[in-house]
A and B are shown apart, each in its own frame.
Chain A
Amino acid sequence: MPAWLTFFAPYEFAPTVALVCALALIFFVSGLVRLRAQGELVGSGRSIAWFVGLALIYGALQTHFDYWSQHIFFVHRVQHLLLHHVAPFLIALSLPGRPLMAGMPRALRERVVLPIVRNRAVRGVYNAVQMPSIAAFLFVGLIYLWLIPAVHFYAMLNVPLYHAMNWGMALDGLLFWIMVLDPRPPSGERGGAPGYVRRLGVLAAVMFPQIILGAYIGLTGRELYPVYAVCGRIWPVSAMTDQHLGGFITWIPAAMMSAIGGVVVLRRWMRNENPAHEEAHVPPQNESRRLQTTA
């Protein structure tokens, strides 16, 4: 196998990641085909956002990029930026609920997925974690939690903890961006889309703690994460340079995602205020409500 090809082979094969990504891919593609047969087109922009988002999650976890992430702090920060900010943002932007539901086998949809989605308890938990204040707290809280030096040390050494960390980042990212990028017009009812001002407020609120944490990591003179020295860095980068770069990645691109998210929220706002501009691909209200909970 040529050296560049080994990069695309998983460093530690994770069957769960491979299976979830494969199923998501198959369901989405067959959903596109089935919806098209019914005369419903999913825009190419949405499809591209979905495929890129899914590819980034798979690539971040199941290529040798993961090996670099285990051994260079700033690459680890890029990995979390992809898993928590960029890829879930793109996936939420693609509104994949409807194609995924249409693409999965009927038995799976009707016997497994729909009963779970309609379950009162599941909805209760989902609605609770999707309340903007709680979603914002979880979003920032997870970043802080895994960057506590003692926690980070063990997360990088213990395989199950490492996987839990990465899965948690991806899932929380999905929840957060699905809430922020909700295409439905705001409604005051429980489980309804939050108001645009609140969503913009959440985006601003999650930005500042990330800036503070990133600036602290990037500017402190203390080595906070010695686990990378203990395990060996795979590139000739000094501990402090690595930490500075990692801090800046936690700080700048992460905070910029809030600005990008804000632009999308403003677009949604203008569209819904002015329904004449509404695009055909925004599904009718109760349909989109169903997808939001399944996405």
Chain B
Amino acid sequence: MFRLRMNRDVCRQRPDGSRRAKAFGLCLLLILAVPGGAAAAAQWRTNSIRGVMPNLEFTLVGERGNPVHGHDYRGRTTLLYFGYTHCPDVCPLTLAKITQAMKDIGQTADGVRVLFVSVDPARDSPQKLAAYTSAFDPRIVGLTGTRAQLDALTKRYRVAYRYGKKDDEGNYPVYHSAGIFVFDRQGRARLLMNAKKASVADIRHDLGQLLRMEGGP
């Protein structure tokens, strides 16, 4: 307040322009400061979302039909990815990339868990998910749930999914997010990877770096 009043007094003597210039400078500084702050934390190849998104919490159904909760994964670095087993390309490719990255990292990644959440519970039973995920890596866990459970989780992480039109054989595509969310051992959201853009090297780099920072999986 003091500043403003002082500003006004100064302006009585000075031409209008200097007051305007000052305000302009201040606004410019504010606008430039924001991306500057974002760039300071750029040692990640994918997107750091520390403090941006909520901790890992959910209630879903596991591969044996058992209830699974987000807090079951406290103490483990956890990846969360949405998809469906009928997915023709993106899901298998993403799971293959994650598997390769974990193999490259080696032992440190042994304790990592990858939660593959099927948003197509009508076709993906727990048994089917179990068979699907074990084809990739034992660290990948298939989860699904009721529409309400899935909606709660997707809303929490601001992702969307929807079903395409059925063809004559009753097959339909499911449109889903391309985000891989990475949570640390305390369940805090740390990274968001674009599954379509991130390479095996990117995933290896960032996941490896997070595991080293955590001092283990």
Give chain A's interface residues, CB within 8 Å of chain B.
Answer: 12, 67, 70-71, 121, 124-125, 128, 131, 133-134, 137-138, 141, 144-145, 148, 150-151, 153-154, 156-159, 161, 190, 226, 229-234, 236
Q: Which residue of the partner chain B has the closest CB to A190?
A: B8
Distance of B44 from chain A, by nearest CB (Å): 13
Give chain A residues whose Cβ lies under 8 Å from the Cβ of B39: 150
CA distance A135 to B162 in the complex (A): 41
Judged by a CB distance under 8 angstroms, whether B197 is at the interface is yes
Give chain B's interface residues, CB within 8 Å of chain A.
Answer: 1, 4-5, 7-8, 20, 23-24, 27, 31, 34-35, 38-39, 47, 49, 52-53, 82, 155, 158-162, 164, 175-179, 192, 194, 196-197
Q: Is the CB of A230 within 8 A of B178?
A: yes
Distance of B198 from chain A, by nearest CB (Å): 10
B interface secondary structure, majority? mixed
A interface secondary structure, majority? helix
Q: Is the CB of B1 within 8 A of A154?
A: no
Distance of B12 from chain A, by nearest CB (Å): 10
Give chain B residues whose Cβ lies under 8 Å from the Cβ of A156: 158
Find B53's partner among A125, A134, A144, A158 (CB 8 Å cutoff): A158
Find A150's partner among B35, B161, B175 (CB 8 Å cutoff): B35
Find B178's partner among A121, A125, A134, A232 (CB 8 Å cutoff): A232
Q: Is the CB of B27 within 8 A of A137?
A: yes
Give chain B residues whose Cβ lies under 8 Å from the Cβ of A234: 160, 162, 175
Distance of A268 from chain B, by nearest CB (Å): 23
Q: Is the CB of B23 within 8 A of A137?
A: yes
Give chain A residues whose Cβ lies under 8 Å from the Cβ of B34: 145, 148, 151
CA distance A211 to B139 in the complex (A): 50
Distance of A143 from chain B, by nearest CB (Å): 11
Give chain B residues whose Cβ lies under 8 Å from the Cβ of A12: 155
Give chain A residues whose Cβ lies under 8 Å from the Cβ of B5: 124
Distance of B27 from chain A, by nearest CB (Å): 5
Distance of B100 from chain A, by nearest CB (Å): 21
Give chain A residues whose Cβ lies under 8 Å from the Cβ of B47: 153
Q: Is the CB of B179 within 8 A of A150?
A: no
Q: Is the CB of A157 within 8 A of B52?
A: yes
Distance of B167 from chain A, by nearest CB (Å): 15
Give chain A residues whose Cβ lies under 8 Å from the Cβ of B196: 229
Q: Is the CB of B158 within 8 A of A231?
A: yes
Give chain A residues whose Cβ lies under 8 Å from the Cβ of B197: 226
Q: A124-B4, A124-B8, A158-B53 are in contact. Are A141 and B31 (CB under 8 A)?
A: yes
